[in-house]
């Protein structure tokens, strides 16, 4: 089992952009902060990725592998083992989201 992601978790794109989460969950907490779900909004800020001469930053994360069994408000949660794809404005996949830190006390599957 892996630690659940919450609003204190630190997420980044593979190019160093930071992730800001807009959570939809306002009821369930893990280690004092709201648990993150697959359907929440994940915005990438400050991605410096360049393709040729054009700036092509990651703008959002689309989670393709959430927790298999853990749910909050009828939506799958995210854990340290979840996989999210960083995508640009044209929906081009530019790499996998990095989960830098999350709380270790509350786990999900």
**Per-residue pLDDT tens over the stretch 78-91:** 999 999 999 999 99
The two beta strands, 2-3 and 107-108, are antiparallel
pTM: 0.93
pLDDT value for 107: 84
In this predicted structure, what is the pLDDT of residue 104? 86
pLDDT, one tens digit per residue, over 11-70 is: 999 999 999 999 999 999 999 999 999 999 999 999 999 999 999 999 999 999 999 999
Using 50, 70 and 90 to split pLDDT, how confident is the model at 93? very high
């Amino acid at each position: 089992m892996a630690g659940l992601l919450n609003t204190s978790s630190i997420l980044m794109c593979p190019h160093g952009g930071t992730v800001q989460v807009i959570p939809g969950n306002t009821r369930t907490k893990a280690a004092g902060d709201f648990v993150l779900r697959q359907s929440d909004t994940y915005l990438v800020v400050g991605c410096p990725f360049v393709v040729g001469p054009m700036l092509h930053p990651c703008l959002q994360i689309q989670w393709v592998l959430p927790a298999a069994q853990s749910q909050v408000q009828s939506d799958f949660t995210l854990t340290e083992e979840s996989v999210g794809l960083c995508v640009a404005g044209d929906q081009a996949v530019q790499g996998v989201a990095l989960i830098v830190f999350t709380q270790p006390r509350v786990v999900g599957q």
